[in-house]
């Protein structure tokens, strides 16, 4: 199928956004462009950062995507044969009237969207934009249906998704990218400095175990800052954390705590937690963690360090966590992410 010339612009914009840890982490986020009745959308499990080096976009007929939504079907056929699946958010992209749609997991937006006490601040900070704040909906069809109800009555260019992220729509890639940066600038929050990590102690702790230190030193901030640690261990803030790290994060107290954690996992027949926090020292992650896991540790530190001490935190419910963990679409995305070279 003939690719639109503007797809090159979408690739360039997507790659820039995907390489910015403050906007996208790992396989998160997605983008699209419409050409007549064809929607070119990021494929599930691919990384926006790879947009200029790999074929991460697939063509979908807009009419087919909208028909699938009408019959509550997440299986959206491609307009041309291929081995990849369309993004699990394809229905959302198809519903929005904008030619270009960009969905990101921007950390300032998430830091606001993971709070129960932020609606008045949104109104003040986003004044002058056409925007809407949505409660949390399971990604895919539930979220698309909620957005569909909004766009049926009004046009919005900015969607703030509670406990999820940011969606913007515009006529061009340049305008969509600029709008994301504008929203993030308006929602910018001060970053709380965290005490230094005890990396030497962490290395001794991990020696001879299936764990290692994360490559990003910023990951340790969640464990060394008491408030960030309390938030992180209190529940799950957004879907990709659940998908790639599991619900919440456990804490361990030294070698004995790690030994207990591993013994419990062995007794249960389940894998050991993907990552854990060592209070006052830092974070550790499993040796065999997928490429998508560590960016989630980085994201958690970036988000929690922006939450004020007075914030009223909103977590995903255990039901929402289980829906994500048992979702075939997310298992497929995990498999593709695990095989990324």
Spatial CB neighbours of 242, under 8 Å, sequence gap ≥ 6? 236, 316, 321, 324, 325
Tell me the backbone φ, ψ of residue 173, rounded to 5 degrees: -65, -40
Model pLDDT, residue 338: 62
d(CA 285, CA 215) in angstroms, rounded, equals 10
Model pLDDT, residue 103: 98
pLDDT grade for 68, boundaries at 50, 70 and 90: confident
Model pLDDT, residue 75: 78
Least confident interval from 52-66, 78-92, 145-159: 78-92
SS3 127: coil
Question: Does position 340 have pLDDT exceeding 90, yes or no?
Answer: no
Q: How is residue 53 annotated by DSSP?
A: T
Q: pLDDT digit string (tens) for 266-298?
A: 999 989 999 999 999 999 999 999 999 999 999
Model pLDDT, residue 268: 93
Q: pLDDT digit string (tens) for 45-62?
A: 999 999 999 999 999 999
d(CA 179, CA 195) in angstroms, rounded, equals 34
Question: Does position 1 have pLDDT exceeding 70, yes or no?
Answer: no
d(CA 69, CA 46) in angstroms, rounded, equals 22
pLDDT grade for 77, boundaries at 50, 70 and 90: confident
Angle between helices 173-186 and 7-18 (to 10 degrees): 30
Least confident interval from 141-145, 188-192, 226-230: 141-145
- Where do the domains of the chain lie, and which CATH numbers do they carry? 7-186 (3.40.225.10), 199-305+309-338 (no CATH)
pLDDT grade for 328, boundaries at 50, 70 and 90: confident
95, 173 contact by CB (below 8 A): no
Q: pLDDT digit string (tens) for 214-267?
A: 999 999 999 999 999 999 999 999 999 999 999 989 999 999 999 999 999 999
pLDDT grade for 335, boundaries at 50, 70 and 90: low
Please give the mean pLDDT across all residues of the chain: 93
pLDDT grade for 336, boundaries at 50, 70 and 90: low
Model pLDDT, residue 334: 62
Model pLDDT, residue 333: 59
pLDDT grade for 100, boundaries at 50, 70 and 90: very high
Least confident interval from 71-80, 141-150, 178-187, 331-340: 331-340
- pTM confidence score: 0.94
pLDDT grade for 120, boundaries at 50, 70 and 90: confident
d(CA 243, CA 97) in angstroms, rounded, equals 29
User: Span 97-113, mean pLDDT?
Assistant: 98
Model pLDDT, residue 282: 98
């Amino acid at each position: 199928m003939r690719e639109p010339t503007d797809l090159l612009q979408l690739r360039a914009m997507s790659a820039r956004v995907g390489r910015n840890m403050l906007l996208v982490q790992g396989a998160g986020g997605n983008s699209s462009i419409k050409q007549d009745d064809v929607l070119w959308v990021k494929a599930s499990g691919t990384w926006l950062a790879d947009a200029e080096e790999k074929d991460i976009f697939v063509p979908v007929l807009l009419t087919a995507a909208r028909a699938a939504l009408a019959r509550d079907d997440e299986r959206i056929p491609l307009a041309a044969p291929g081995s990849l699946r369309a993004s699990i958010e394809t229905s959302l992209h198809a519903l929005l009237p904008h030619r270009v749609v960009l969905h990101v997991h921007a950390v300032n937006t998430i830091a606001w969207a993971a709070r129960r006490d932020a609606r008045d601040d949104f109104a003040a900070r986003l004044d002058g934009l056409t925007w809407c704040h949505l409660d949390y909906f399971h990604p895919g069809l539930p979220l698309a249906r909620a957005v569909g109800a909004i766009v049926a009555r009004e046009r919005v260019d900015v969607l703030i998704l509670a406990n999820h992220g940011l969606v913007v729509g515009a006529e061009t890639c340049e305008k969509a990218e600029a709008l994301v940066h504008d929203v993030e600038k308006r929602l910018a929050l001060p970053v709380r400095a965290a005490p230094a990590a005890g990396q030497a102690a962490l290395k001794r702790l991990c020696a001879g175990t299936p764990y290692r230190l994360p490559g990003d030193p910023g990951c340790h901030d969640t464990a060394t800052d008491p408030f960030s640690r309390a938030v992180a261990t209190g529940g799950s803030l957004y879907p990709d954390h659940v998908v790639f790290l599991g619900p919440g994060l456990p804490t361990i107290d030294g070698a004995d705590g790690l030994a207990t954690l591993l013994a419990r996992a062995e007794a249960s027949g389940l894998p050991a937690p993907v990552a854990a926090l060592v209070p006052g020292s830092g974070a550790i992650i499993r040796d065999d963690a997928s490429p998508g896991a560590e960016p989630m540790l980085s994201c958690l530190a970036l988000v929690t360090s922006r939450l004020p001490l007075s914030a009223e935190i909103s977590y995903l419910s255990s039901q929402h966590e289980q829906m994500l963990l048992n979702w075939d679409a997310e298992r497929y995305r995990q498999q593709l992410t695990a095989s990324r070279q």
